[in-house]
Structures are given as structure tokens and as C-alpha cells.
Chains A and B, each alone.
Chain A
Amino acid sequence: MNALIMALDSIWEKKGRSFLTMLGIIIGVTAVLVLVALVAGYNADVTAYYEKLGVNKVEVEVTWYDPTRSTDLTDDLARYVNDDLGQLTQGVTPSHTLSATVRHGGESAEEVTVSLGGTQWDVCGNYTLDRGRGILDYDIENASPVCVIGSYLTQTFFPYSDPIGQTVTVNGHALTVVGTLYQKDGSQEDSMDNCLWTPYTLDRVLLGSAYVTRYTVKVDKSRDMDQVMTALERYFAQTVSDRLGEVELENGNAAMSESTSEMTSMSVVLGGVAAIALLVGGIGIMNIMLVTVTERTREIGIKKSIGAPKWEIVTQFLIEAAILSSLGGLAGIALGYLLAAVLGQAMYGVVSFPGALVTVGAFLFSAAIGILFGLYPAVKAAGLQPVDALRSE
């Protein structure tokens, strides 16, 4: 109790020095927490992007050597995927896109991703129908001039009215809106919500040529990806002769795992940087503690000369070091969380905090360094003959 009061007194007495001691800990802990939080934020950002984009997709591109000898595979592929691979897949759609300007009344939306899709385009693209209906077989067969619009277009053109039955123009071609999609990516101009879904049979109208050579197959579970890829390879080997064209299959999950592994190696590098920050912070603590005790050797001498037991002096320094280290650690945690929130919001729009394990670990590490290096010289000084301690100036 006595030692506690003395420790508090002494901390308060030397506010500046106490703050400097804490600064090392604050910087160390803050650096670690912020770095860890930013890696986690990047992680969440990438994962969220791929989740919105939709996982478990096989992208197919057919290249015909001579377009005049091409075959329309769409119906046959849809039959194969939905019947033969029905257990493993959720759907298949043509997936040709173009970037177009869409207009309604006086408003216009630039760089809208217009997808020439089939009836399962929404499922394959990870979209959900909000109002109205999707594109149906009837629309495909008759090449109906209809479309389903993304939430950005809904908000831009029809903030206060019902979009169903209204007309929008895509590159000058009028399409009737039959449905709308739920927002999935923030409804900004550069988001995935700036999109429009229209029957692929409108390709001659919108593109001026028949151009259905790209498909997306949505697989139900990621563990079935390889099996579906193999089945599709076999299917295309039979349907597209080597002499007429070639088929390329791409596993959509590969791109994500690439990003993930990139992120993992980045975390290792940043983890190293954080460890160095903590170490430098630790050295700072060590230095200031050494200086503090050295300059207070005289005080230790005075106390010893008036009868202070060695353990009492050591206890006082221990309490001081513990208080400074924990205050510094707590301040570091507070600052770290604050910076993590601010930077995370600014960089990724996601606030992610470092995990409890990292927080506690960084705190304990710097506290341990503070206490160890605060205590070691104190123990040494307290072991001196009082006259030697008194002599130090």
C-alpha cells in the first residue's frame, strides 16, 4: 500500500519522464494493433468483393476459328448443365457483357454493365430479384425487348416511381423494364449494382452480330468445382471439334485463392514490421527505464540509509514499472483501435479491429519488457551498499 502510494507519487512527480516511458509502449502497441487491423481489413475487403462477385463459377469461352461455321451451343449447354450436372450446379448462362450508356427521360447512366444473359443469369451472377420478374424462356425465344435493372439504375431513374413497365434505352434501343435487382454492392456508379440484364437473343440488336461465345456455370459447392470442370471439358471436347474452334475453361475460385495467398504473404511481411515496431518500442522502454533507475540511484541510497529494506525498494520500482507499462499498454490499445477504425474506414470502408489475442499479446509483451527492464536496474541498485548508492549523483 505504502509502496503503491510512493510509486504513484513518483510517477506524478516526473510526469514528463513517465510519459516518455509510456510513449515507447504506446507506439509499440499501437503499431502492432493498427498493422494487424489493416491486414484484417484488407482481408475482409477482398473476401467481401469475391463474395459479392459470387464464388464457385466456371467461366467458359468458346473461340470459333471461322465464325460462319459456328454453332449456337447455348440451349445444348443449358440442357447438359441442368440435366446431367443438375445435382452439382445451380445454373448456366451466356455471359457476354458490354459497357453502354442507359437513358430514361432526361437522366442517363454511364458505363452500365449490360449483360446478355439467359434465364439463370441472376443466379450465376449472384444477384437477387427484387421487384417484377426475371428474364424468362419466352423473352429469350421471342427476343423480347425487356430488361431487369440493377439497383443503381433503379435509384437513378426511378427514385419515386415504379420502374416496372417503364422504358429505358440502351445505346438508343428501347427496352421495357420488367424487374429490378436487389442492391448488393453499395449502389454506386462504379459498383456491381450499375448493371442491366437483358435476353441474350437481343445480341443482334445490341451488338449488331450474334456473339454468344461466353458462358458462366454456377457450381453449387466449391468441392464440386473440379468434378464439374472435368465434366465440362469432356462435354466441350465432344461438341466443339478441334478443327473448328477451341474452348477455354477458367475456375473462378482460383482468382480468389490467388488473392488470398498474396494476402497471406503480405500479413507475414507486415507481421514482421509490427514485430520490429514492438521491439523498437521495447528498446525505448528499456532505455528510459535504465536511465530512470540510474538517475534515481541516489534516492535509493537515501532510502536505504534510513532503513528501507531491499524488497521494499524493489517493490516500489516494480509497481511503478507495472503502472507505467499497463497505462502505456492501455493507451496504446485505445490509440490502436482508434487508428484502426479511422484508417480502416478510410482505406477499405470497413472497420475491423485487431483480435483479442493480438491485443492481449502486444499488451503483455510491452508490459513484460517495461517491468523487466524497470526492475532489473532497480534490483541492482537496491543491492548496492547504501554509501555507494548515495555517492551516485
Chain B
Amino acid sequence: MSLIRLEQVYKIYNPGLESQVNALDGVDLTIDQGEFVAIIGTSGSGKSTMMNILGCLDVPTSGTYYLNGAAVSGMSGRELERIRSSQVGFIFQGYNLIPALNVWQNVALPLCYQRVGPKERRRRAMEALTQVGIADKAETRPSRLSGGQQQRVAIARAICTRSPILMADEPTGALDSRTGQQVLLLMRQLNAQGTTVILITHDNAIAAQADRVVRVKDGRVVDDSLWHREEARP
């Protein structure tokens, strides 16, 4: 059974109006556990909409989305909250850290929503920060960190819940290429440990580092190819 399955998913904005946009126009997609998938497309291709739906940040207009075999499309708000909390970790282009909280508090925030005790929260936040290599900044406010460091914090936040799926929307978009490369390396490591990684990008060079590239154009999947999967999994 596949981890993620989209069947004829549509996302339509302003239906019936002149300004109608079919952001997703009948997408079928299957992703298996442990894959490293890049979804690539130009701006306006619908790739971000696809990620929002895959991550339960948004709901499709029509079609069915199965996660672990369960139809997400019909779920209540509360069930979607539970999925976001326990199944998916997000990394955004703009980091989306909360400025009022310091680094470790930001990382520990998702654990609050899982009713993890304060000591355990701190322990796991520090563990995640160690994993991304900035445990020394734990007490700092995000605004005092560089972009690369902030993105590491965001990754730490995404992984500290030990969610099986990691979704990244242009995670390197705001970073210089060297830092971007480090972030990608981090994601590769996580994938090697069993996390399913879905990476959204417009950059072919970055997409090329994934095992599988799904090309999206005008809301449709136009190409779905497996690249050097064998090399990536020695």
C-alpha cells in the first residue's frame, strides 16, 4: 500500500468566474514510504497547491487523497489537525518561525500540541537541534540568526515530532547555494533514516538531487521519472 495516493484531484479557485483558475487539474500521484521526491514546476504551475493539499494545509475541490490508505478528503478539521501534528513536518521557503519564541521553543512548539511534557519537549528539541547542527543557538531569537540557520531551525522543528513525512516548499529558495546544499544534505540524511521527503522546487539542479522528479505544469503532472534511485540507495 502506498503512503500517499492522489486520485483525480482538482483545486479550483473562483469557480464559474472569468478569473477561474484550475490550480490542480486532475492530478493522479502515488508516493511510497521512504521515497525522496522532488515536485518541480514553474511559478503558477500548481506545485505549491499540490504540497498544501498533500500536507493537509488545504483541501481539494474534488478528487480523493489517501494517506496511509485513509481518505483525507472527507476528514473533519480535528482529524486534519492530528495529521498535521503527527504525520507531516513542514519546511517553508520563508522559514515561518515565530519571532516571539526562541530557537528551542520554536522547535518544541509542535510537541506542545502533542501533549509532550515540558522536560521531554526540551530534550527532543535539543536532540533535533543537535541533529541539524545548531544546538548552540538554542536560546537565541530567530531574528538574530542567518537565513541558513533559521532554515535549520525550521528543519529541526519539522523533524522533532518524528513525523514520517517531511515536506519542503522551496527550502533553499532564500539561501545561497552553499548553505542550500547543506540543507539538502540534511534532508538526504533524514531520508536515509526512513523519512519520506517531498521537496517542492522550481530549480532543476535541486530537483536533480532527488530520487524521483515529478514535473508539474498547468496543474497537471506532465512527467514522472525515477532518476538514479539505485545510486542514492547504496
Q: Which residues of A approach B to under 8 Å, CB–CB? A: 2, 9-10, 13-14, 299, 301-310, 312, 383, 385-388, 390
Interface residue count for B (Cβ, 8 Å)?
A: 29
Q: Interface segment, B76-84, B173-181, B189-197, B223-231?
A: B76-84
Q: Does B185 contact A (CB under 8 A)?
A: no
A309-B90 contact given A9-B101, A299-B98, A386-B84, CB 8 Å threshold: no
B85→A13 contact, CB < 8 A? no
Q: Does B57 contact A (CB under 8 A)?
A: yes
B98→A308 contact, CB < 8 A? no
B113→A307 contact, CB < 8 A? yes
- Given the complex of chains A and B, what is the CA–CA distance between A13 and B96 in angstroms? 17
Known: A309-B81, A390-B92. 6 other contacts (CB 8 A): A302-B96, A306-B89, A306-B113, A307-B110, A308-B85, A387-B57
Partner of A386, one of B57, B109, B114: B57
A-B contact pairs, 24 of them (CB 8 A): A2-B112, A9-B101, A301-B96, A304-B81, A304-B84, A305-B55, A306-B84, A306-B109, A306-B113, A307-B82, A307-B110, A307-B114, A308-B81, A308-B113, A309-B113, A310-B81, A312-B113, A383-B77, A385-B57, A386-B57, A386-B84, A387-B57, A390-B57, A390-B92
Distance in angstroms from B122 CB to nearest chain A CB is 13
Chain B residues in 8 Å Cβ range of A302 = 96-98
Chain B residues in 8 Å Cβ range of A386 = 56-58, 84
B100→A305 contact, CB < 8 A? no
Chain A residues in 8 Å Cβ range of B81 = 304, 307-310
B95-119 contact mask (Cβ, 8 Å, vs A): 1 or 0 = 0111111000000011011100000
A306→B101 contact, CB < 8 A? no
- Given the complex of chains A and B, what is the CA–CA distance between A307 and B55 in angstroms? 11
Partner of B86, one of A9, A301, A303, A307: A307
B100→A13 contact, CB < 8 A? yes
Report the nearest B residue to A309, measured CB to CB: B81
- Given the complex of chains A and B, what is the CA–CA distance between A10 and B109 in angstroms? 14
- Given the complex of chains A and B, what is the CA–CA distance between A74 and B17 in angstroms? 102
Distance in angstroms from A381 CB to nearest chain B CB is 14
B57→A306 contact, CB < 8 A? no
Chain B residues in 8 Å Cβ range of A299 = 98
Chain A residues in 8 Å Cβ range of B55 = 305
Report the nearest A residue to B96, measured CB to CB: A302
A306→B110 contact, CB < 8 A? yes
